[in-house]
Amino acid sequence: MALRIVFMGTPDFAVATLKALHAAGHEIVAVYSQPPRPAGRRGLELVKSPVHQAAEALSLPVFTPLNFRNEEDRARFASHEADVAVVVAYGLLLPQAILDAPKFGCYNGHASLLPRWRGAAPIQRAIMAGDTETGVMVMKMDKGLDTGPVALTVRVPIGADMTAGELHDALMQAGAALMADAMDRLEAGDLPLVPQPEDGVLYAAKIDKAEARIDFAQPARDVHNRIRGLSPFPGAWFELPAVDRAERVKVLKSELRETGAGAPGTLLDDEGTIACGTGAIRLKRLQKAGGKPLDIAEFLRGTPLPKGTRLF
C-alpha cells in the first residue's frame, strides 16, 4: 500500500526526489513550494519554482504559503491527512504544528554528513572547506535546524577539482534514490533512526555576496576551493585593470599549480597562471559580466592577460 505523501521543496535540487517518489507509486497528495518570485531583467514577471513547475507537469496540487503562521494554512496542511511529509530544500523552518501533522512525521533529505554542515549552504561550504567527502542523509525532522535523528546515509566523494554545480548534481541524484528507499522502508516499518552525535557540529551559513571576491593573498589551495565552491553561482570573481573602470570577471574553474611564486594576483605567464599568497592557480574557465562562459584559451584570444598583469 503506497504512502500518502506531502512533498515540500523549492529548487532544482528537490525536483529529482519529487519525481522519484512519484515514480515509486506513492500518492503525492500535495506539493508545497515557495511562492513565485519576481524574475527577468526587470523583475516584473513572477516565476514559479522548479518544484512548482515539476509538480504541475505531474498534475499534482501545489500550495505556496508564505509561511505557516496563518491558522488556515496549518489547517489545510493537516487536512491532507498525510502519512508523511518529505522535505528537500523547502526554504522554511517548519513550526511544530506542521512537524506533528503527518502520521509518521516529516523527513528531510539534507546534502551533508550531519552533524557537519547543518544549515543553508552545505554543498558550497563543504567544498570551500576542502572536504574530500560529503553525502546525503535522510533525517526525521524536529524543531531544531537539521538536528533530528538520521535514518539513512549515502556518501559521495568530492573530487579535487569538483565544482559546487557538479557536486550538486551528484548529490541530487543520490538523494532522490535514498529518499525513495527510505519511504519504502518506512512503509514496511523498517526505517531505523539514530541520534546525531554531539561532536563535529558545523553550520553552513548562507553564502554572502562579499565572499565571492577572490583574495589572491590567500594560499592557492584556499583560493582554488573558494572558486570551485562558488561555481557556477554566485561565482568567485576578480577585477581586470582598465583605463576607465575595472571589469569584473568570474572564475568558474581553476586548477592548482605546484610551482609558481610572485606578488599575489600577478600573472606568472601568458596562460592564466596567477600567484597566490603561497603557490599559484591556473584559470581554466572564465565569464565576463553579460558574457558567456569561456575556456581559458578562448578567453585569452579576446582578452589577453600578459605576464606581469596584476589582478585584484
With 80 as the cut, is the pLDDT of residue 259 above it?
no
293 known member of a binding site: no
Q: Which residue has the cell 505556496?
A: 64
pLDDT at residue 42 in the model = 67
pLDDT at residue 4 in the model = 98
Using one digit for the tens of pLDDT, what is the confidence trace for 134-158? 999 999 999 999 999 999 999 999 9
Residue 12 pLDDT class (50, 70, 90 cuts)? very high
Nearest 5°: the CA angle 151, 121, 98 is 55
Grid coordinates representing 287? 565569464
What is the DSSP pairing of strand 4-9 with strand 62-63? Answer: unpaired
Bridge partners, 118 (sequence order): 203
pLDDT at residue 246 in the model = 83
Using one digit for the tens of pLDDT, what is the confidence trace for 64-82? 999 999 999 999 999 999 9
Alpha-carbon gap, residue 139 to 99, rounded angstroms: 13
What is the DSSP pairing of strand 106-110 with strand 84-88? Answer: parallel
Grid coordinates representing 257? 599549480
pLDDT at residue 44 in the model = 74
Pick from 186, 119, 187, 192: nearest CA to 150? 192
With 80 as the cut, is the pLDDT of residue 33 above it?
yes
pLDDT at residue 245 in the model = 78
Grid coordinates representing 3? 504512502
User: Are 57 and 46 in contact, with CB atoms under 8 Å apart?
Assistant: no
252 known member of a binding site: no
Pick from 27, 100, 36: nearest CA to 68? 100
254 known member of a binding site: no
pLDDT at residue 260 in the model = 74
What is the DSSP pairing of strand 84-88 with strand 4-9? Answer: parallel
Domains recognised in the chain with CATH numbers: 4-203 (3.40.50.170), 209-302 (3.10.25.10)
Over the chain, what is the mean pLDDT? 95
**Which letter does DSSP use for residue 12 in this model?**
H
User: Are 148 and 183 in contact, with CB atoms under 8 Å apart?
Assistant: no
219 known member of a binding site: no
CA distances to 66, 281, 291, 303, 311 from 248, rounded to whole Å, are: 35, 18, 11, 13, 10
